[in-house]
C-alpha cells in the first residue's frame, strides 16, 4: 500500500509533526511505501529508500492565513499527480478528499471559546486571530465531511467534533503519545538550586507565556496562598507581561523565569510537581511528558489529556474544574507539598500511564486503522 501524508512540518519538534513522524516510522517498519507532501521534513527519514518527499516551497505571502491557502492549492496539485492508495491529512490542509484526517485542534470550538484572544482584547492583531480561526473553522468542516475516518487526538476533541455535526461512527480517538526514553524519571540528577538556597518543594510551568490561554496568571495568584513552594517557568520571556506581573505581586524571589529551555525533560524529572491549569487545550502533550518523568501533575478539565489523569486504577494528578479558581489551585498544590506519599504514588502512576501511551504504541494504532480502512475499501 502506497500511503501519502500531507502536513506542513514533518519534524519531531512540532506537535502535529511529531504524530506524523511516528506514523511514518511505523509504516516503514510494516514495509509500506510512504510519500510525504510538506514544507519541512526530518532529514533522518530521507535516508529510507521507501520514502518519497514532495516539497511544497515555503510561501512568501505575509500571513499564515494566506500561506496555508497557498500550501493547500500546491498540495492539491501534487496529490492528484501522485494518486496514492491511502491519503492522510491533518485538518484542512488541501482540497483533496482523504481516507483519514487527524484532528489536533478544532477551530470551530476555539472561535467560540470565551478565552479566544479577540474576546479578551479587541485589537488589529486579535481581530486577525479571530478571522484566522473563523475561516479555518469553515474549511475544516469541508475537509472533515469528505474524509472516511476522523482521528481525534483526545476525547475532548471528539466531543468538539460531535458538536459541529461530525458523525460519531466516523470518529476514533487515538490519544497523543510521548517519548518515554527522552522523558523518563531521573531523580538522581543534579538538584535544583534557587538563589543559592535549596528549596524542598519546586513546581514547573512550561509553555507559551505570551498569551493567557495557558493560564500562568492563575498560578501566580495561587502562589500567594502557598508560601512554601518555588515556581520555575520555562518559556520565552520575549513579549510576555508575566515577569513584571510576578514582580508587582511580590513573587520575584519565588518565581524564576528560565526563558526558553531545551532541557524540559530534565527539568520535569527534577521538580516535585508540574502545574498546567490551561484554559483550553485539545490535548496538552506537555502534561503527558511530565507524567512520563514520574512527576505528579495538576491540570484542568479543559485539557484533553485530563481523561488519562483521572484513571480510577492509576490516578496521576489533580484535575481542576475551574481553570480560573486560584483557591482550588492553591488547595491542590497544598495537598501535594505536605504529602510525600501522594507525590510518589501519582508520579509512579503517571509513568505507567505514559508507558501505555508511548509513541510506538500510539503509532501502531494509526497503522491498524489504516489497514482496517483499506480492507473495507477492497471488500466494497
- Report the chain (380 residues): mean pLDDT per 10 consecutive residues: 94 87 95 96 94 95 95 97 95 97 96 91 94 97 97 97 97 97 80 54 93 94 93 94 96 93 92 95 95 97 92 86 96 92 94 96 96 67
Please state, in angstroms and rounded to a whole number, the distance separating the CA atoms of residues 90 and 16. 8
Residue owning grid cell 484532528: 103
Please state, in angstroms and rounded to a whole number, the distance separating the CA atoms of residues 217 and 323. 10
Please state, in angstroms and rounded to a whole number, the distance separating the CA atoms of residues 274 and 292. 12
Please state, in angstroms and rounded to a whole number, the distance separating the CA atoms of residues 57 and 63. 15
Give the β-pairing of 149-152 and 171-173.
parallel
Please state, in angstroms and rounded to a whole number, the distance separating the CA atoms of residues 125 and 65. 13
Q: The pTM is what?
A: 0.92
Position 179 scores a pLDDT of 96
Contact 316, 290 (CB under 8 A): no
Superfamily of domain 2-177+358-379: Glycogen Phosphorylase B; (3.40.50.2000)
User: E strands of 7-99, at which residues?
Assistant: 9-10, 33-38, 40-41, 51-55, 86-89
In this structure, how many other beta carbons lie within 10 angstroms of the beta carbon of residue 343?
Answer: 19
Q: What cell does 211 get? A: 498569551
Q: What cell does 231 get? A: 515556581
Give the β-pairing of 273-276 and 202-206.
parallel
Domain ranges, ordered by start, for the chain: 2-177+358-379, 193-356
Please state, in angstroms and rounded to a whole number, the distance separating the CA atoms of residues 292 and 339. 20
Name the CATH code of domain 193-356 (choices 3.30.70.20, 3.40.50.20, 1.10.3720.10, 3.40.50.2000). Answer: 3.40.50.2000
Position 197 scores a pLDDT of 52
Position 374 scores a pLDDT of 81
Please state, in angstroms and rounded to a whole number, the distance separating the CA atoms of residues 331 and 218. 13
Q: What cell does 284 get? A: 496538552
The reply to whether 193-356 shares the fold of 2-177+358-379 is yes
Give CA torsion, residues 108, 110, 116, 118, to 10 deg.
-20
Phi-psi region of 194 (alpha: psi -120 to 50; beta: other; left: phi over 0): beta
Q: Determine what percent of the chain falls in helix, strand and coil, rounding each to the nearest 5.
A: 45, 20, 35
Is the sign of the CA dihedral 278, 295, 156, 69 positive or negative? positive
Give the β-pairing of 33-38 and 2-6.
parallel
Helix axes 359-379, 15-29, angle to 10 degrees: 70
Burial class (CB in 10 A: 0-12, 13-18, 19+), 354: buried
Please state, in angstroms and rounded to a whole number, the distance separating the CA atoms of residues 59 and 66. 9
Nearest one of 343, 272, 258, 289 to 15, comparing CA atoms:
289
Quote the distance between the C-alpha of residue 216 and its chain's center: 17
Amino acid at each position: 500500500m502506497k500511503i501519502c501524508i500531507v502536513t506542513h512540518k514533518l519534524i519531531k519538534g512540532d506537535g502535529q509533526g511529531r504524530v506524523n513522524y511516528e506514523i511514518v516510522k511505523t509504516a516503514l517498519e510494516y514495509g509500506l511505501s510512504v510519500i510525504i507532501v510538506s514544507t519541512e521534513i526530518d532529514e533522518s527519514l530521507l535516508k529510507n529508500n521507501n520514502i518519497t518527499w514532495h516539497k511544497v516551497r515555503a510561501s512568501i505571502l505575509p500571513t499564515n492565513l494566506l500561506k496555508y491557502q497557498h500550501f493547500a492549492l500546491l498540495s492539491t496539485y501534487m496529490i492528484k499527480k501522485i494518486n496514492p492508495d491511502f491519503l492522510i491529512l491533518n485538518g484542512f490542509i488541501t482540497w483533496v478528499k482523504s481516507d483519514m484526517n487527524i484532528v489536533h485542534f478544532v477551530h470551530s470550538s476555539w472561535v467560540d471559546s470565551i478565552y479566544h484572544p479577540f474576546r479578551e482584547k479587541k485589537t488589529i492583531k486579535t481581530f486577525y486571530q479571530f478571522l484566522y480561526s473563523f475561516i479555518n473553522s469553515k474549511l475544516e468542516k469541508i475537509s472533515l465531511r469528505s474524509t472516511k475516518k476522523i482521528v481525534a487526538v483526545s476525547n475532548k476533541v471528539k466531543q468538539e467534533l460531535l458538536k459541529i455535526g461530525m458523525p460519531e461512527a466516523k470518529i476514533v480517538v487515538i490519544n497523543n503519545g510521548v517519548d518515554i526514553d527522552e522523558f523518563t524519571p531521573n531523580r538522581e540528577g543534579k538538584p535544583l538550586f534557587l538563589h543559592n538556597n535549596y528549596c524542598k518543594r519546586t513546581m514547573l510551568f512550561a509553555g507559551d507565556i505570551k498569551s493567557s490561554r495557558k493560564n500562568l496568571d492563575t498560578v501566580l495568584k495561587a502562589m500567594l496562598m502557598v508560601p512554601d513552594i518555588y515556581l520555575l517557568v520555562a518559556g520565552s520571556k520575549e513579549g510576555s507581561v508575566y515577569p513584571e506581573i510576578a514582580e508587582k505581586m511580590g513573587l520575584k524571589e519565588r518565581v524564576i523565569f528560565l526563558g526558553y529551555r531545551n532541557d524540559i525533560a530534565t527539568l520535569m524529572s527534577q521538580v516535585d510537581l508540574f502545574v498546567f491549569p490551561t484554559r483550553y487545550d485539545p490535548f496538552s502533550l506537555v502534561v503527558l511528558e511530565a507524567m512520563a518523568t514520574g512527576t505528579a501533575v495538576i491540570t484542568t478539565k479543559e485539557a484533553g489529556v485530563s481523561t488519562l489523569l483521572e484513571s480510577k486504577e492509576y490516578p496521576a494528578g489533580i484535575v481542576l474544574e475551574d481553570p480560573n479558581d486560584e483557591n482550588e489551585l492553591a488547595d491542590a498544590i497544598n495537598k501535594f507539598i505536605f504529602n510525600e506519599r501522594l507525590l510518589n504514588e501519582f508520579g509512579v502512576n503517571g509513568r505507567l500511564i505514559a508507558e501505555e501511551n508511548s509513541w510506538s504504541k500510539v503509532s501502531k494504532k494509526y497503522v491498524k486503522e489504516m489497514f482496517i480502512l483499506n480492507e473495507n475499501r477492497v471488500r466494497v
